[in-house]
Structure 1
Amino acid sequence: MKLSFRELLILLPLFFFASSTFGQGEKKSIPLKRILDTIAVQHQVKFSYAENDVFGHSIYPPQAEIPLRAKLVYISNRTGLNYKELGEYIVIYKAKQREVKNFCAYVTDETGMPIENASVQVNDAKNIVTGADGYFELNTTLPEKIIIGHIGYEAVTVPIADFTGDCLNIVLRFDVMQLDEVITERFLTTGISKKKDGSFTIEPKKFGILPGVTEPDVLLAMQQLPGIMSVDETVSNINVRGGTHDQNLFMWNGIRLFQTGHFFGLISAINPNIAYDIKIVRNGSSAFYGESVSSAVDISSHSADVEDGQTTIGSNMINADFYTKIKLNEKSGIELSARRSFTDLLDFPTYDKYSQRIFQNTVVTQLQNSTDINYRGDKEFYFYDFTAQYHRKIADKHELFIHLIGINNKLDFTQGTVTETNTITSISNLDQQTFGASAEFNSQWSETHSTKFGIYSSYYNVDGTSQSFETGTVTTQENKIKDSGFRFSDSNQLTSLFTLHSGYQFNQTEIDNIDISDSPALDRSVNQVLRAHAFIGELEHNPETEKIYARAGLRINYLEQLKTIYIEPRLQFNYIIDHAWQAELLAERKSQTTSQVVELQNDFLGIEKRRWVLANDIDVPVQRSSQVSVGISYRDKGWLVSIDNFYKKVNGITTYSQSFQNQLEQIEAKGSYRVFGSEFLIQRQFKNFYTWLSYSWNDNRYRFDDVQPEKFSNNYEISHAVNTAAIYEWNNFKIAIGSRWFTGRPTTDPLLNVPVYDNEGNPSIFYEYPNTDNLSDFFQVNFSASYLWHITPKVRAQFGLSVLNIFNRSNILNRYYRINAAEDIERVNTYALERTPNALIRINF
């Protein structure tokens, strides 16, 4: 059977590393014909048989994870039928005489994964090796025993007397050796590393290259990590282990960011050229992080010293930017950055592709075909951002940091047409902006004692005005957040083994939601305020020479308005097994009081339709999560292999926060979701070339007690996801090509293809049960390359090129149904980016 490149790419990780998709869930006999159909799907083979031969045979199904030929032996032993392999066909037949089966076995590791090329010593003169599925047979005179071994595993001796007819499962245990290393450097690419507390760090100034990414964009780079992705390919909808975007905490120098994207999600709102460090935590976060039930992304531009000045200016096909660092004196310095798009002046192909992607199925385009409406007069869009930092060292023990940040997206949209009597126009606009400031004072009182004190404030506002072209109705909407507070932390090394971290945080969040319409008349204004106090304590065990790293913390949250206390334990544990192996255990409980909801799909022009709200423990509960994960990793001789298994439960979600576009869209219900899964990564480095493959599997299900059925698949469930990359670096030249594949997200289809009508004659759609179907699989191949030219010892030029979706595959990201003006049911698809090129030029001096 021939496999295409795409099929091979998909099947390889699933065959070797994925958790079993087809479990042996049934505990009763099943007709043989059904079992053969299941095996045919699992192994992509075809069975040929006479109906009379298989009729009447019912057996327990073989385990899904065992190799194909082991399953054939299993079936033959229980039915008396014989089999013969003929290419891609397997013939099942009834013979007059039962054929004698050879000794067979399959070799796996302790996690159940097959071991390829394991050595099977039959006698002094003959050795054989296992296949890709770990399977082997002996068709010679059987010895008394055989010896199986493989590099990295302990050899085992198996007596042939143990053979009972079915294929044996021979398990090899990992070989244990002595160790030194703790931190995994170069995780996926240069500048990304995994720390012993389970977190990931990204250093943009050391950043290498990733497929489709030429700049160190943190929010795009983090989506390459196992378990982190975006179901709609935006940085404003990042899903970590099945969670929603608003369940992640994004912080920039102590300022919480409620807006993370430009172009309404296609570009990161953080300038990628600032010299900063990013910490990404999927689980086991420090007790100093609150207000999230999923991940935490902490971005810091702090430097230990006042560094020498430097400047960089650059441009791609969307925006131009600059960054400068100025050393005022030996004790102080400032850093400035700014970026602005020129999309309101120039239309490069990159902008055209981005525009088609983000404005489809909104008021800016026709809903049925996502093309610009023929009576559009003008569509003007641009964005900008800026940052500023002041760093001052005070004496030898203290330092002061002051930060400013601003982010803005602005869209003006004019529709117009000429009738026989006059000209009709309508004007709509959308403005999304963030401004923030913070100050931090750090003191190093001694080698073992330090403190930090910081204050911060941020302002977020999305303001949309929509004027109906047909009726002239004007609707104004606003979602405004004021977030401010202060935090104090103390770190005291008690002994050479233990350090105590403690602190206090105060936060006040105020959210306003405003809706004004002239037809029908509507004037709604909702103001919410919530103050929170957090008391924090952590004990860290971090000896330099021992094998165990551990950090246990406790966060106690008190919410003033709700008069509620939440106790949140946190745990990070890392055990160094030997020089190559280490294991980790991470656990946490967290809560958050802010969330994003979708009330109407056309809110804010249908582009940024989510709005932030505060918990009130009535219709919007406080969200609470519990998560635990266990992982093991191996790093030696250019190999990096890691696997993590996790379980997460989140309570307090609402149907409005999950972006339903089916029968639950206007249903108000509270519930929860639970997700468990596995994440696998294998990476190999050969001098200047390295490649990696990651695979994620999860089972993600809702529970809403007030809807039917109570349990069903999560809107953000991606059952299987595979990322691959091949990267080559030679001197100053870098090139990367990679692919992304994942199963389609759940969707709900109408049960009837015509509307149903109520007593008043209003049409509606009668749906199947929620999320009983799935979109087509997503597949995309991306490319990037960059070259660094040293013009002089102090001046460097960087050139970059990237292409997203090289093969221009049409991928569906979302689907919903609506009733059109003719009262027919229409299907509306949202498509991913088409082939999108981008180019970069940058000068550093």
Structure 2
Amino acid sequence: MIKKKGLLVCAFFLMCWASVFAQQKQPLKTIFGDIEKAYGVHFNFIEEEVANVSIFPPNPALPLAKKIFYLENRTDLHFEVVAGVYITVSKKPVVEVPPPEKEVRVSLDEVAVEKYLTTGISKKADGAYLIKPKKLGILPGLTDTDVLQTMQQIPGIYSADETVTNINIRGGTHDQNLFLWNGIRMFQTGHFFGLISAFNPNLNDKIEIFKNGTSAFYGEGVSGVVAITSGAAKTDSTTCISSNLIWAGFNTKLRMSDKAFFTVSARRSMTDFFRSPTYKKYYNRIFQNTVVTDLNNNQAVDYQNNEDFYFYDLTAQYHHQVGAKNELDIATIAIRNLLDLNESTTTENGFVSKNSTLGQQNFGINLYWKTNWDDRNTTIASFYASHYNLDSQYENINNSQIQKQKNSVSDNGLRVEHRHRLQDLWSLNAGYQYIETGVRNDEEINNPAFLRFNKKVVRTHALILESDWKAPNNLTGLKTGLRSNYIKEFDKFILEPRLQFYHSFDGHFRMTISAEQKSQTVSQAVDLQQDFLGVEKRRWVIADNSQIPIQRSRQAEIGFTWKNKKWLVTFDNFIKKVDGISTSGQSFQNQLEFVKLNGSYRVYGTELLVQRNFGKVYSWMSYSINNNKYNFPEYIPPKFPSNYEIAHMVSGAVIYDWRQFKTALGAKWYTGRAETTPISTTLTPNQPGIIYNNPNNERLGNFFQVNLSVSYQWKVFKKGNFEASFAVLNLLNKHNIINRYYRVNTETNSAESVNTYALGRTPNLSLKLQI
């Protein structure tokens, strides 16, 4: 376990050089063979690309990394190290030729597993997951490369209620994850109030997901980190137009010059004028048991026909190479959901109509500047601003009461980072971050008159130091870091050490060790289940160091990976403890719903993946087990199962990939979530309320779902592709209960259960044209 204070900085290198001797040119394939024998690696290449290439061989005394660097600089080929033992060779794209004095370096970002679950997903040597949507293969139940849906295929990551706004990483809550889009912190991650990712699936270039061992440059997010990067690739101008049964959108990258390009994207739902079968399924799922569908008589209300519900997202990004050493990047994003609800009825006084609204939006901008001073020193400076707003107005049709609620977050940050490469395989990084976060909560009721206004601001200064070392043979790596946070309002210092270590024993078997401490000052809480029409009931709150404490986490992990050409096995074991949580942040709907208590949770578990490649067909199966328990010292009993504990989860898929045709069939099964049952469902005059058993004393029924996806791609012209995808979620139409709570039925004077069901059988069709 990581000690609370300390800095782990390791500096060890022994570089051996031999004198250079005269040699003759040799075929590149011969040089490949010599390197394979010397280091136990294997080159993957296209015969035609290397057949006629001959160069002087590198110095035999050079380490593997320098030999690859040597080969890349003397050929028009690109070399990428995969899993420490495989080196893929491909033609370099035609790009701007750098000045002669500028050294071109090959990136040796160690990847332990190249094809994890499907093409386009890899597991890095340090345990992080890398998703490249443009290369992403097919996954069961998905028609698009939805980032937040895709990441739920990874063992240890799931959604307790099927939404992308409630993603749980190793038992944590959604707000304990740090979501970044091009450096901008995002407080809204979903459309359709959680069923669709808010990030355009055709735009993203790279997504990095950390469950543990994150870089010290990431603050906040005590559970996980999801860093999304888009528009960074220096490619020719491209355009993509796509649509499914929910939304339509496009994205365009325009190359303005050899040094500048501009990217823009837009996506909008069609739900306000086209009610597809997919929309109806989504509508029934997300609005069940809310003000929208369960007012007083459990009957759905009529919507207005004019833009009653829609969502959109917009992004723009400008990249400019300033001179030979500088880069400028400007990125903006806007996300919005809007629900307009009309209720009408006929009373003794005539026709009555009331209108309620719910709006959710997130806007962000990031300014990024990078300077490469020389081949060893790089400085990065960035400034971002993110503004989130959730507001609702509810007009009660039974009386004249109007309730207005608003929750807003303003988050601004400055980051400066300097990277210094001490040796070819050892770098030191240092930086400073300033984060100012303000949270505001307003509530107003006209009858009876009530007004509440609350605004708090927290400012955090952080100093970061990080060391990244790799052994000359690339089989061992160690990254250590320390983040020192100073929270001005509380006059409080928090030290957060980070550790990532990996070692490959024989090119097939690899061990990783990760550990970290993190903290966060902003979290989500639920005051009342009926807040914000009961649709998005969570509101952001900020720590005050007393009633709302700072959340702090400690986590340690050891993992093992074994692979050969056909098999892959990963086996990860972890333990995590998070302090400073509150009952209002855990979405209780039992006796703890109105009780304000602070405590912690501890979770430990194992995540196993077995994957087999049969050529055109490959399959995988994963199993995860975790034990997740709360500890609220002021409550009796203080310890009981977490609302987000999934004790056992099994998922698997069979994928067929042949040329332009792909299909995937998969299933997932897991034990039901915890529920709290009443001692008796019969109420008495002496006891009109519900008396519960101990919290989370029972479990819901097990969850089971089968999903299917099929896609085919056509070459429509020289530089254009057309792709059609079809998917079905819950192919067997299994009625899975994902939540249950109890309420008082005054007519029968009893406690009745209210179930929330997962999506029924839901088809979707996607069409995409890329030019």
* Shorter-chain TM band: 0.7 to 0.9
Q: TM-score, normalised by structure 1?
A: 0.77
The corresponding residue for 1:254 is 183
Give the SS at the match of 1:329. coil
* Cα distance, 1:589–1:428 mapped onto 2, change above 3 Å: same
Counterpart CA distance in 1 for 2:231 and 2:461 is 26
CA deviation digits over 1:14-34, x for unaligned, max 9?
xxxxxxxxxxxxxxxxxxxxx
Give the SS at the match of 1:357. helix
Match of residue 574, structure 1, among 502, 511, 517:
502
Choose between structure 1 and 2 for higher RCO, CA contacts under 8 A separated by at least 6 residues.
2
The corresponding residue for 1:796 is 721
The corresponding residue for 2:521 is 593
The Cα of 1:276 is off from its aligned counterpart by: 1.6
Give the SS at the match of 1:764. coil
Contact 2:612 2:618 in 1 (8 A): yes
Match of residue 511, structure 2, among 579, 583, 590:
583
Asked if 1:490 is matched to 2:412, the reply is: no
- Please give the residue correspondences for 1:348-427 in structure 2 after superposition, counting only pairs within 5 Å: 348-366=276-294, 372-373=300-301, 380-427=308-355
CA deviation digits over 1:311-362, x for unaligned, max 9?
0111100000000000101010100000000100010000000000000000
Counterpart CA distance in 2 for 1:495 and 1:246 is 39
Asked if 1:782 is matched to 2:707, the reply is: yes
The Cα of 1:429 is off from its aligned counterpart by: 0.6
Counterpart CA distance in 2 for 1:204 and 1:585 is 28
Q: Which amino acid aligns with 1:594?
A: V
Match of residue 834, structure 1, among 752, 760, 771:
760
List alignment gaps of at least 5 residues for structure 2: 1-82, 87-110
Contact 2:84 2:112 in 1 (8 A): no
The Cα of 1:469 is off from its aligned counterpart by: 1.2
Counterpart CA distance in 1 for 2:694 and 2:500 is 40
Asked if 1:185 is matched to 2:114, the reply is: yes
Give the SS at the match of 2:599. strand
Give the SS at the match of 1:786. strand
Counterpart CA distance in 2 for 1:794 and 1:290 is 42
The corresponding residue for 2:661 is 733
The Cα of 1:304 is off from its aligned counterpart by: 5.2
Give the SS at the match of 1:297. strand
Q: Which amino acid aligns with 1:778?
A: F
Match of residue 532, structure 1, among 460, 463, 470:
460
The Cα of 1:368 is off from its aligned counterpart by: 8.8
Greater mean alpha carbon deviation, residues 790-799 or residues 178-187: 178-187
Asked if 1:315 is matched to 2:243, the reply is: yes
Q: Which amino acid aligns with 1:522?
A: F
Give the SS at the match of 1:364. coil
The Cα of 1:458 is off from its aligned counterpart by: 0.7
CA deviation digits over 1:729-769, x for unaligned, max 9?
111011001001110010000001123556xxx82110000
CA deviation digits over 1:660-712, x for unaligned, max 9?
00000000100000000000000011111110001110000000011110000
Percent identity of equivalent pairs:
48
Asked if 1:293 is matched to 2:185, the reply is: no
* Cα distance, 1:194–1:824 mapped onto 2, change above 3 Å: same
Asked if 1:434 is matched to 2:367, the reply is: no
The Cα of 1:794 is off from its aligned counterpart by: 1.3
* Cα distance, 1:335–1:285 mapped onto 2, change above 3 Å: same
CA deviation digits over 1:82-136, x for unaligned, max 9?
xxxxxxxxxxxxxxxxxxxxxxxxxxxxxxxxxxxxxxxxxxxxxxxxxxxxxxx
Give the SS at the match of 2:148. helix
The corresponding residue for 1:212 is 141
Counterpart CA distance in 2 for 1:370 and 1:793 is 56
Q: Which amino acid aligns with 1:263?
A: F
* Cα distance, 1:369–1:697 mapped onto 2, change above 3 Å: farther
The Cα of 1:545 is off from its aligned counterpart by: 1.2
Contact 2:605 2:627 in 1 (8 A): yes
Give the SS at the match of 1:608. coil
CA deviation digits over 1:457-481, x for unaligned, max 9?
0110000011111123110000001
The corresponding residue for 2:770 is 844
Counterpart CA distance in 2 for 1:403 and 1:179 is 34
Counterpart CA distance in 2 for 1:364 and 1:303 is 41
Contact 1:199 1:281 in 2 (8 A): yes
Match of residue 387, structure 2, among 454, 459, 462:
459
* Cα distance, 1:756–1:654 mapped onto 2, change above 3 Å: farther
- Please give the residue correspondences for 1:86-125 in structure 2 after superposition, counting only pairs within 5 Å: none
Q: TM-score, normalised by structure 2?
A: 0.84
Counterpart CA distance in 1 for 2:120 and 2:474 is 27
Contact 2:400 2:447 in 1 (8 A): no
Greater mean alpha carbon deviation, residues 236-245 or residues 536-545: 536-545
Q: Which amino acid aligns with 1:180?
A: V
Contact 1:404 1:436 in 2 (8 A): yes
* Cα distance, 1:395–1:766 mapped onto 2, change above 3 Å: same
Q: Which amino acid aligns with 2:617?
A: F
Contact 1:757 1:764 in 2 (8 A): no
Greater mean alpha carbon deviation, residues 737-746 or residues 363-372: 363-372
The Cα of 1:303 is off from its aligned counterpart by: 2.3
Contact 1:756 1:766 in 2 (8 A): no
The Cα of 1:214 is off from its aligned counterpart by: 2.0
Counterpart CA distance in 1 for 2:537 and 2:448 is 20
The corresponding residue for 2:74 is none
Contact 2:203 2:231 in 1 (8 A): no
Give the SS at the match of 2:679. coil
Give the SS at the match of 1:242. coil
Contact 1:367 1:828 in 2 (8 A): no
Counterpart CA distance in 2 for 1:369 and 1:192 is 47
The Cα of 1:821 is off from its aligned counterpart by: 3.3
Q: Which amino acid aligns with 1:800?
A: S
Aligned pairs, number? 663
Larger Rg: 1
Match of residue 821, structure 1, among 736, 746, 771:
746
Give the SS at the match of 1:276. strand
Counterpart CA distance in 2 for 1:376 and 1:451 is 54
Give the SS at the match of 2:281. helix
The Cα of 1:377 is off from its aligned counterpart by: 6.0
The corresponding residue for 1:684 is 612
The corresponding residue for 2:100 is none
Contact 1:377 1:416 in 2 (8 A): no
Contact 1:756 1:765 in 2 (8 A): no
Counterpart CA distance in 1 for 2:606 and 2:438 is 38
Q: Which amino acid aligns with 2:736?
A: N
The Cα of 1:820 is off from its aligned counterpart by: 2.5
- Please give the residue correspondences for 1:556-571 in structure 2 after superposition, counting only pairs within 5 Å: 556-571=484-499
Contact 1:249 1:291 in 2 (8 A): yes
- Please give the residue correspondences for 1:314-333 in structure 2 after superposition, counting only pairs within 5 Å: 314-333=242-261
Greater mean alpha carbon deviation, residues 491-500 or residues 708-717: 491-500
Match of residue 537, structure 2, among 595, 609, 612:
609
